[in-house]
Amino acid sequence: MNIFRRTSIALITGLGLAFGSLPAHAEGQIRIAEQFGIVYLLLNVAQEQKLIEKHAKAAGVDAKVEWVKLSGGSAVNDALLSGNIEIAGAGVGPLLTLWDRTKGRQNVKGVASLGNFPYYLVSNNPNVKTIADFTEKDRIALPAVGVSVQSRVLQLASAKLWGDKDFNRLDKISVALPHPDAAAAIIKGGTEITGHFGNPPFQEQELAGNPQAHVVLKSYDVLGGPSSATVLYATEKFRSENPKTYKAFVDALDEAAKFVTANPEKAADIYLKVSNAKLDRELLLKIIKNPEVQFKTAPQNTYALAEFMHRVGAIKNKPASAKDYFFDDAHNALGN
């Protein structure tokens, strides 16, 4: 168990103690787990502008909002199942894993997408042109091996290249590492980490910071087009017992999405402030304005991963469509 994993567990335990005196899922109480990257920009805007509190107040609820920073779908899923957070922020892979595991019990489902973002597998090894070029000497960093959306997309790409029987062929050279640490390793070079399947802005920082860094794989190519890689999800119990808080959260996300789309420069400043990121503002704006990036709450193109995960036995239950693993909310009606 790595140091960051132990830190995550300690943090989760501490949160449990901190909120131990509060009733579970009290209306107005909402704890949200986010990870690293611009993919969480809607949450950054909601936090800075106190949009959840605003919409909750309009519904007559005094909201208490807590923000928790974790790394990797495993840590996020552990926090949700242990009752230490109400909203989980992670990839489609972790959502599908938890939806499958809790079906008929806690019934975890998706709340909303955080938008469409292309994820890049970047390598600083000049000999690696495709995933077939990775060897036993290489190590691919990603948030959680076999669980994160990056890991699942890599598995899908492997299945397309080598067949379903070898879908997890690259898991043995994959390692769990937070995006900031993985990006630093790719930029610096000289470590066992020669690949990083990340997200914005880390992948762009790698490409700009190391002349040998190059894109090996793009998530959009594997999934067949723009897709919602990072999503938010919750238990059925939280949604049903806290309708006003739940709706305030969803409405806050929708307002944040409209704000970012209309005000990219202000959104960039909010990201830099809230995340305390040491990131070039022009690079950040370039990412936010990238035509391949869309800030919206409706999920898009998630089913390809769901079908694949069922086909290879990663999940037991096969969803008929995205409506099976996303809550029946208005913004999810046209999701897929």
What is the average pLDDT score of the chain?
91
Which letter, b or e, does each residue of 299-322 get, where b requires 16 or more Cβ atoms within 10 Å of its Cβ? Answer: bbbbbbbbebbbeeebbeeebeeb
pLDDT above 50: residue 184 = yes
Does 3-116+228-332 match 120-223 in CATH topology?
A: yes
Q: Which CATH number is associated with domain 3-116+228-332?
A: 3.40.190.10
Asked if 63 and 57 touch (Cβ cutoff 8 Å), the reply is yes
Domain assignments of the chain as residue spans, ordered by start: 3-116+228-332, 120-223
Distance CA 258, CA 42 (A): 9
**N-term to C-term CA, the chain:** 35
Q: Residue 25: its pLDDT value, please? A: 53
Mean of pLDDT values over 163-187: 96
Cα 133 to Cα 56, 136, 146, 216, distances in angstroms: 52, 10, 20, 10
Give the pLDDT score at 4.
37
Q: What is the pLDDT of residues 109-168, one digit of tens each?
A: 999 999 999 999 999 999 999 999 999 999 999 998 998 899 999 999 999 999 999 999
Strand partners, 142: 176
pLDDT over threshold 90, residue 333: no
Tell me 318's DSSP state: P
Q: In terms of CATH, what superfamily is 120-223?
A: Periplasmic binding protein-like II (3.40.190.10)
Lowest mean pLDDT among 235-244, 252-261, 275-284: 275-284
Question: Alpha carbon of 276 to those of 32, 37, 273, 283, 327: distances in Å?
Answer: 18, 11, 5, 15, 33
- The 10 Å Cβ neighbour count of residue 2 is 13
Predicted confidence at residue 331, as pLDDT, reads 85
Contact 281, 201 (CB under 8 A): no
Q: What is the C-alpha to C-alpha distance for residues 214 and 231, in angstroms, rounded to an integer?
A: 27
Model confidence over 26-70: pLDDT tens digits?
789 999 999 988 999 999 999 999 999 999 999 999 999 999 999
Q: Provide the pLDDT for residue 2.
A: 39
Average pLDDT (89-101) is: 95
The residue type found at 241 is E
